[in-house]
Structure 1
Amino acid sequence: MIETNDTLPVKEILTAAGPFIKAVVDTYVTPKLENLKKRFTLDYNKYHVPTEEHFSEYFYRTYKRVSIINTLVFNNSQRFIKDIYSPLTLIQKTEEKEIKHKIQSFPSELLNKYEKLLITDNAGMGKSTLVKKIFLDTIDEKKGIPLLIELRRLSKEKTIIAEIQEQLNSLAKDFNNSLLLELLTEGGFVIFLDGYDEIPLSDREIVTADLQSFISKATNNTFILTSRPENALKGFGDFQEVKIEPLKKKEAFELLRKYDKQGPVSTLLIKKLEETDMANISEFLTNPLLVSLLFTAFQHKQTIPFKKHIFYRQVYDANFESHDLTKGDSYTHDKYTKLEIDDFHRVLRHIGYSCLKDNQRIEFNKDEILALIRKAKIFCVDLNFNESDFLKDLLSTVPLFTQDGNYFRWAHKSLQEYFAAQFIYLDSKGQQSKILLQLYNNPSLDKFINILDLYYDIDTKTFRSTILFELLQLYKNYYNSTFQDKRYTITQEIISLRKEVCFLIEPFLFTMPNREGRIDHKELDEMIFKLGKNKRISGSLDSPNSDRQLCCLVCSDVKESMCNMLSSKLPNLFHQVPKINREKLVLNISHSLSNLYEPYMLNDKLEDQFNSNKNFDQVTNLIKTSKRRSSNIATNEALKLLEEIEEQINNEKSEDFLLDGI
């Protein structure tokens, strides 16, 4: 393992990595190439065969790139990922329990058991950082041949094989990509597929099909796929899903200390945090990105911001007004554009919103990023600056973008989302409600949750009268339209709980072989595909037949992600679902579902045996075990809040609303 410190130059890091890279090439690459060459016909000349040099050059180049951490905390200074990485923990949920895997080195045990790993979590939880760390560990510990693919680079025109070939090709020694595929099918590679959620929506279907085809052909390799939660991930059902455990307070403080090597900023910040009401700040201390933003914001202003958008504004201010400490506190970098802080912010807002409209793209070539800046300049008619100068500022004096070869990208996707949310609020000229509802009703709502999360704090009033109003209306209509049969003899409280549990989901049952038997994933996937909806396996129940088990799946509406977001902001509107011991659930049914993998949709009919007095509670509990969301809307609170918002909207529609009292 290579040890690093802040004073060690990048050149020395690569020198130290040399023996490890050579060992990976000698151990894994050379034998595979020799085997491959033996199978060639004479039609292939030596310049079309991948070589050890291709891989060595790629390993050196990528090792250097991923070793250096890009974070807003350090502005333009270089810091190594190994110096500031605080071990993250992956949580694997099974039917019985949660299994935790702390990632301090290459996760051999986890990847030996699950050769296909899907890491999903929300913005800023450290997915890409974790991928870079494991990439370095793969080389340092000689665990295989690592390939890091940033999925945002793939498109309708660019396949994953083309991207791998581009990464491995040196300028003068191109090779045939069919030979590369031959090499990959032999196995021994650790392939990192980072940022599925960053694939442009317009290319998503074709890129997904290409990825699935590639994975099916290269089954002898290990795959690690990362993404924010996306319904489209159902296409990777054979991947074992894990999440990143939120940081504990102790871990957050440890991370803060690493940012300035236990210096005065982290010492004072931690002291203030310990004196602060942690209920107001606890969410931010669980997320590595927000911990870093907290450090940056506090370093600039020595105050603790309590809302995300204030975080981002202080981070922006800190980067715009950054002082060069080598020249004294009074020295501030001149801006190439000569723009003032608020004017620069206005241009960035337009760029952020343009990225939102362009399928949430965050990476561009030079012509594309200059075109975005030019478009923003036209929008900001009173500002005069040169597009190239603005790009220089974005890369150096206000470093909110990074450059990777010919590509330019936001330092973090959440920055783009912050500026897009600010544009909707400040620059959309009365179109805020229409834009919010368009995002809320988009089939890909998952992609916009972080923007809407930020917008809620920026403009709660408009959010309430648009998105929250529609969601509560939807709940009211749903609540009043199901389980209305007057012949039910169970209590309204029990019926109401079933309604709350089933909001925004459609549960169904089916049978499959019991735990001791082998689950036929192909049969399962075909069943889900035929239903044509986004579903996932999430709970099961033993049936009276010893060779089968009765399972429950839920079909989740995309709007369920909105409930997840709101549950932390409006705790009174939701109540937690208590954990259910699945082993104690017993259904009183006359027969189990006869055919394996034959879905049976649950309904509200009194005649259905699953709605009998004996089974009603148990079925509700079974559905609870199958839900991703751990909280339900509280009916009384929901209806009360809906009335308040309706009154607010009616008052604002009054002709005299803005004139009263003048």
Structure 2
Amino acid sequence: MLNYIIEEIISKYLGYKRNHEDVMKIHQSLEQYINKEYNKLNQTKNLIFRNEPINFNENYIPLTLTSKTKNFRVNDPINLIKEYEYIGIIGSAGSGKTTILKHIALSCIENQYKIPIYIELRNLESKILSFEDYIASSVNEDFPDQIKSLFKSGEFIFLFDGFDEIDYVEGNDFITKIDSFINKYNNNIFVMTSRPGTNIESIPPLHIFNINPLNSDDIYLYVNKINLPNKLKRDILDNIKNNYNLKGILNIPLFLSLYIASYNNGNKNFLDKKSIFFRNIIDALFSHHDSISKLGYVRDKISELNKDELEKITTALAFRMLFSGKFELSKDDIYKEFDIIKRTTKIAFENEKLLFDLTITINILLDEENHYIFPHILILEYLTCLFISRLDNTFKQEFYNKLARNSRIYLSQNFYDFLHELDYKYFTKYYIIALLKNYLKNTINFSDEENFRDIKNGTIIPYIAEKYGPKYDLYETLNMLELEFINDDNNSFSNDLFDVL
């Protein structure tokens, strides 16, 4: 592969005679490097097919990149890199950044266009080697100086995956190093990926593109391309089409793959219990995605908090944001929330490092022009309900009583579904029964269909009727629920977090 290019650049830039022993070794090592990279990138595992590697093109669908001036559908990536020689690609966790880089590398080799140098930046050993020496040594450890001479040929494309995965301490120093490398070898092509919020935009030569979410046609194409039985694919597409609430989640390739994997493994409970699916999403964001897509790698958390601690903090933050009605927070505001959570949970951390982990390492928060949001309202609602479900009995009762008395808070049916699934006993005992008593005490005539329709906008009464009993006989529903035995648990949790109610 690429033998003609290899032979030409060695002859021109090393100046050795054709039969020189080192020329033979360098030529052979470059061939071996390219073949090894091609085979590694072309055989891939994913969430759907975890046990056996599959051919890359079997599951690849073209993703769409957007800049300030142009949309680019990545069918033929060579057209992209010819037009924009220095490219930065930004996307959230699971959006397809690594997939695009693999597609570019494979296309270059198959079309004999450029020699791809694929570097996973998380492996950078900056304390041992300079950035330039690390890149050269990754191609050939025995002849790094000669490889650097070949870089001057302009026949390489450098693919740097995971700018967000560099050592946090390096920060702006790394931007300087990579900018210097690009300037030194500026007649080559450079493509780099990152999650949002890493300041990759500050690297001067890069044309910045963002990965677009999948649209309906993309989802249809992806599902149909997968090597699964046709009936199973039809079932998947029908359920996606009919499940409006999930459409805003399944436009991310990682989450779509999780959805399909659940079907393929025979786990269809998430269709009835959406909390199961969102549990999988949270697990994927916190660790599983990296460990599957990057051969067992789980990125370090610079806050030095474990998964349980990060999840506890994240659920508390979601709870406070939802019930305070603040769906985005400035950096000052989120640091205030961190201080409250730090005090009440007794978990020690540095605010800046925690924010880095939540926005970049885990990507559970998005940085939108220095305002921080959860990537989807359903994720915010799920995490909030997870927090509520883990409260001890005393504080849980206090929360539900406050919620039942507070008529100004509007909550979606998805929120009630999550609570119904995650905390059925206490949700029913302390909230549903209390609401029913309150409504019935106010002598609303629920046997009147017109009256019932008038209060449908309130969500909760139709929800109670649907989930718990006969549509109009709410007295009977109340009697039934009051007879149900509910055990009490005794755990412990701080009460200070409830000041948003």
What TM bracket, shorter-length normalisation? 0.5 to 0.7
- SS of structure 2 residue aligned to 1:272: helix
Supply the distance in 1 between the matched residues of 2:194 and 2:162 (Cα, whole angstroms).
5
- Deviation track 1:78-113 (CA, whole Å, cap 9, x = no partner) reads 21110110111111222xxxx2221122332x3223
Offset of residue 264 of structure 1 = 3.0
Offset of residue 301 of structure 1 = 1.8
Tell me which of 274, 286, 302 is aligned to 2:268.
302
Contact 1:118 1:240 in 2 (8 A): yes
Offset of residue 72 of structure 1 = 1.4
Work out whether 1:37 is the aligned partner of 2:4: no
Work out whether 1:25 is the aligned partner of 2:6: no
One-letter amino acid of the counterpart of residue 226, structure 1: T
- SS of structure 2 residue aligned to 1:75: coil
Alignment of structure 1 residues 510-589 onto 2, 5 Å: none
Contact 1:187 1:221 in 2 (8 A): yes
Contact 2:179 2:204 in 1 (8 A): no
Work out whether 1:106 is the aligned partner of 2:77: yes
Work out whether 1:239 is the aligned partner of 2:216: no
Taking only aligned residues, the RMSD between alpha carbons, in angstroms, comes to 4.3
Supply the distance in 2 between the matched residues of 1:249 and 1:412 (Cα, whole angstroms).
35
Contact 1:256 1:292 in 2 (8 A): no
Offset of residue 164 of structure 1 = 2.6
Work out whether 1:162 is the aligned partner of 2:144: no
Contact 1:47 1:175 in 2 (8 A): no
- SS of structure 1 residue aligned to 2:92: coil
Change (3 A) 1:229 1:426: closer
Tell me which of 450, 460, 464 is aligned to 2:363.
450
Offset of residue 444 of structure 1 = 7.5
One-letter amino acid of the counterpart of residue 384, structure 2: T
- Deviation track 1:27-55 (CA, whole Å, cap 9, x = no partner) reads x1111101123279xxxx85498611111
- SS of structure 2 residue aligned to 1:450: coil
Change (3 A) 1:153 1:214: same
Change (3 A) 1:188 1:290: same
- SS of structure 2 residue aligned to 1:229: coil
- SS of structure 1 residue aligned to 2:95: coil
The residue that corresponds to 1:268 in the other structure is 235
Offset of residue 197 of structure 1 = 0.5
Supply the distance in 1 between the matched residues of 2:314 and 2:273 (Cα, whole angstroms).
16
Tell me which of 237, 240, 251 is aligned to 2:218.
251
Alignment of structure 1 residues 185-200 onto 2, 5 Å: 185-200=152-167
Contact 1:439 1:448 in 2 (8 A): no
Supply the distance in 1 between the matched residues of 2:297 and 2:72 (Cα, whole angstroms).
31
- Deviation track 1:472-495 (CA, whole Å, cap 9, x = no partner) reads xxxxxxxxxxxxxxxxxxxxxxxx
The residue that corresponds to 2:57 in the other structure is 82
Alignment of structure 1 residues 363-442 onto 2, 5 Å: 400-401=291-292, 408-410=296-298, 421-422=310-311, 424=313, 432=345, 438=351, 442=355
Work out whether 1:311 is the aligned partner of 2:235: no
The residue that corresponds to 1:521 in the other structure is none
Supply the distance in 2 between the matched residues of 1:418 and 1:438 (Cα, whole angstroms).
17
Seq. identity, %: 22
The residue that corresponds to 2:492 in the other structure is none
Offset of residue 231 of structure 1 = 4.1
Supply the distance in 1 between the matched residues of 2:497 and 2:51 (Cα, whole angstroms).
51
One-letter amino acid of the counterpart of residue 460, structure 1: T
Unaligned ranges ≥5, structure 2? 317-340, 366-373, 389-413, 416-494
Contact 1:30 1:52 in 2 (8 A): yes
Deviates more, 1:59-68 or 1:424-433: 424-433
One-letter amino acid of the counterpart of residue 268, structure 2: Q
One-letter amino acid of the counterpart of residue 207, structure 1: F
Higher RCO (CA < 8 A, seq sep 6+): 2
Deviates more, 1:239-248 or 1:292-301: 292-301
- SS of structure 1 residue aligned to 2:44: coil
One-letter amino acid of the counterpart of residue 239, structure 1: L
Contact 2:201 2:208 in 1 (8 A): no
Change (3 A) 1:295 1:182: same
Offset of residue 418 of structure 1 = 7.3
Offset of residue 266 of structure 1 = 2.2
Alignment of structure 1 residues 128-147 onto 2, 5 Å: 128-147=98-117
Offset of residue 281 of structure 1 = 0.8
Supply the distance in 2 between the matched residues of 1:650 and 1:402 (Cα, whole angstroms).
40
Higher relative helix content: 2
Supply the distance in 2 between the matched residues of 1:65 and 1:417 (Cα, whole angstroms).
31
The residue that corresponds to 2:481 in the other structure is none
Supply the distance in 1 between the matched residues of 2:358 and 2:52 (Cα, whole angstroms).
36
- Deviation track 1:417-472 (CA, whole Å, cap 9, x = no partner) reads 977743657999986486699369747864257234487445427999xxxxxxxx
- SS of structure 2 residue aligned to 1:132: helix
Change (3 A) 1:82 1:123: same
- Deviation track 1:589-637 (CA, whole Å, cap 9, x = no partner) reads xxxxxxxxxxxxxxxxxxxxxxxxxxxxxxxxxxxxxxxxxxxxxxxxx
Contact 2:133 2:144 in 1 (8 A): yes
Supply the distance in 2 between the matched residues of 1:281 and 1:412 (Cα, whole angstroms).
30
Supply the distance in 2 between the matched residues of 1:431 and 1:213 (Cα, whole angstroms).
46
Tell me which of 22, 25, 28 is aligned to 1:53.
28
Unaligned ranges ≥5, structure 1? 1-20, 317-344, 356-360, 363-399, 465-568, 571-648, 658-662
Equivalent pairs, count: 356
